[in-house]
Chain A
Amino acid sequence: MTNLPSATEKKLGLAIDLDTCVGCHACVISCKEWNTSNYGAPLSDVDAYGASPVGTFLNRVHTFEIKADNRPAQTLHFPKSCLHCEDAPCVTVCPTGASYKRTQDGIVLVNEDDCMGCGLCAWACPYGAREMDAEAGIMKKCTLCVDRIYNENIPEEDRVPSCVRTCPAGARHFGDFADPDSNVSRLSAERGGVELMAAQKTRPVNRYLPPRPKADVTGDGQIDIPNPFLEAKNQTAKGFLGWLDKALEKI
C-alpha cells in the first residue's frame, strides 16, 4: 500500500561528507556494478559504445563551483542518490502499489513485479533519484543495498551499501538516523548536516555535511595554510644511519 508509515523503527540512510568527497565517481560505478548484477532487472545501457550512450544509474556525482565575494572559488563534488525521505512523495503517487517505504528501517523500495512504468514517481521526486530503465520499462532506484546490509553470506565489513564500501575518500557514511548516538547522527550533528531542498517538505533522511571553510589565500598574500602540517618533524635516524647523518652534518 502506498500510504506512508507514520513512523519507522530505524531511519537508515547516508551522511555524505562534501568536504572529503573528491569526485572520483567510484561510488557511481560500484553502485552500478552491484545493482546490475544482483536483485531485479539489470541497470541497462543503451547505445553504450555509440554516439550518445545513455544508461540507468542510481547514483550520480555533479560537480559545482562555489564562489563567495572576496573569497577564493572552491569546487564541490556532489554525489546524489535516493534520500529515503520520511514523507516520500514518490511513494504516495504510485498507482500500482509498487513503491513503498519499509516500516522496519525506512528504506524506500520499488516492487518491480508491480511497477507499470508510468514514471510518475520520478516526476514527484525533487532530487532525480529515480530513473526508468529503458530496457525493462520499470522504475529503478537506490535500495540502500538492502541485499548487502542484512546479508549474512558476505563478510561483515561488506554489509554496508556498495557506495559506502567503495569510497576511497571515506566520504560516505551509513547508519541509523533514528539513533541519536549512531555514527551518522553524531557526524551530522558535529558538522551541521543539511537536508536538500527542505522547502519541498519531503523530510529526507540522508544528510550532506557541508565543506569546511577554506583558508583565504587572496587576503594578505601570505600563503600559510599548509604550514602547520609541513613543519619539519625532528626525524632523526637511529643507529648507524643516525651516526652517519650527524657525522655528515659536521663536515
Chain B
Amino acid sequence: MYPAPSVILFTSLSGIGFGLLAWLGTGHPAVTYLTAFTFFFLAYGLAVGGLLASVFHLGNKINAFKAFSQWRSSWLSREGIMAVASLLVMAPYAIGEIFFGQQWPLFGWLGAAGAVTTVFTTSMIYTQMQTVPRWNSPLTPVLFLLYALGGGALLAGQTGVAMLLLIALGLVQALNWYLGDGAFAAAGHTLETATGMAGLGRMRLLEPPHSSPNYLMKEMVFVVGRKHVRKLRMISMVLLVLLPVLILLLAPAAHVLVGIAVLSHLAGVFVARWLFFAQAEHVVGLYYDMR
C-alpha cells in the first residue's frame, strides 16, 4: 500500500495525542494551571493536527463532514465520531485543570475512555481489510493501542509504566512483523484464485492491461524500498524502544535527555508506520504480478 505522508502523519500524531489525552484524563499526571495548559496544548495539538493531516488525504474535502453519518457500518465513520466526541468530552476536564485548578474526574475518565476507543476505531480501519492480509489480524488493534498508550505515557512523564509499555510495544511489533511476513501466503490468495482458474495450470502475467501505472498500482501495489526492510526495522526498533527506554532507565530526571527520548520515539513511530503501509500487500497486486 502507498505510504501516503498525510496518512502516516495522521495515524502517528493523533495516536500519540489521544494516548496522552488518555493519561491526562485519568490524572496521570494530575496537573493544574500553566503545566496543565502545556500538556493539553500538546495533546490537543497532536490529536487535532493528525486529524487535519488526514483531511489532506481526501480527493473531495468538501464532503468530509458527511463522514460522520455512516457509523452503523463504517469504521472510518466511527473513528471520526469518536475522535470529535472524545475531544469535546475532554474539554471541560482540561478547562477545569487549566483555569480552576480542579479535577473533574467524570469528564476525565469519559474522555480517556473515548480517546482509547478512538485509537481502537483507527486501528479497525486497517484491521477490517481482508484484502490486505498483513493488516487483517487481531494484533493490529493491540499494536495501535500500545503505540498510543506507550507514546502517551512517555509524553505524560509516566516513567515506570512508559518503560513497560514501550518494551511490550517492541515485543508485539516484532511479533507482528514476523507473523505479517507470512500472512499473505497463509491467506491462500494466488493468481489462480484471483482469476478463478485454479486447476488449469500455472499462470503468469503475459501482458498488463495498461502501459503505465494507474491509480490501483500507485495506491495498492507499492513496492518501492522493500529491499531496505530489515535495516528500517532495526532503525525503528532502536529509535522507538531501545533509546527511549535506556534514557528513562539511566536519566529519568534529565529533561533534555527525556526530550530526546520523546523525539527518538516519534521518529521510530514514523519509520514503523511507513513500514506498516509500504510492506502491506494488497491482493489486487496479484492481477499485476506485483505485490
Contacts and interface: CB of A to CB of B under 8 A. Distances in A.
Interface of A: 1-4, 18, 28, 52-57, 60-69, 71, 75-76, 78, 80, 89, 91-98, 113-120, 122-128, 131-134, 136-138, 194-201, 208, 210-211
10 contacts: A54-B212, A64-B197, A92-B73, A93-B75, A94-B74, A122-B220, A131-B215, A195-B196, A208-B197, A210-B196
Contacts, number: 206
Given A2-B70, A116-B67, A119-B59, A126 B284 contact: yes
Interface of B: 1, 57-64, 66-70, 72-77, 80, 125, 128-132, 187-189, 191, 193-197, 200-216, 219-220, 282-284, 287-288
Nearest to A4: B73
Given A114-B66, A122-B220, A76 B215 contact: no
Contacts of A199: 187-189, 193
Please give me the 10 A-B residue pairs with the lowest Cβ-Cβ distance, nearest first. Answer: A117-B59, A137-B59, A68-B201, A194-B196, A96-B66, A95-B77, A116-B63, A60-B209, A128-B284, A117-B60
Given A64-B204, A68-B201, A132 B73 contact: no
Contacts of A118: 57-59, 67, 76
B74 A137 contact: no
A122 B212 CA distance: 19
Given A75-B206, A93-B76, A137-B58, A200 B283 contact: yes
B59 A138 contact: yes
Contacts of A92: 73-74
A93 B128 contact: yes
Contacts of A66: 197, 200-203
A76 B195 contact: yes
A156 B287 CA distance: 35
Contact of B209 (A61, A114, A211): A61
Given A95-B70, A118-B57, A134 B215 contact: yes
B75 to A, nearest CB: 7
A27 to B, nearest CB: 11
Contacts of A197: 189, 193-194, 196, 283
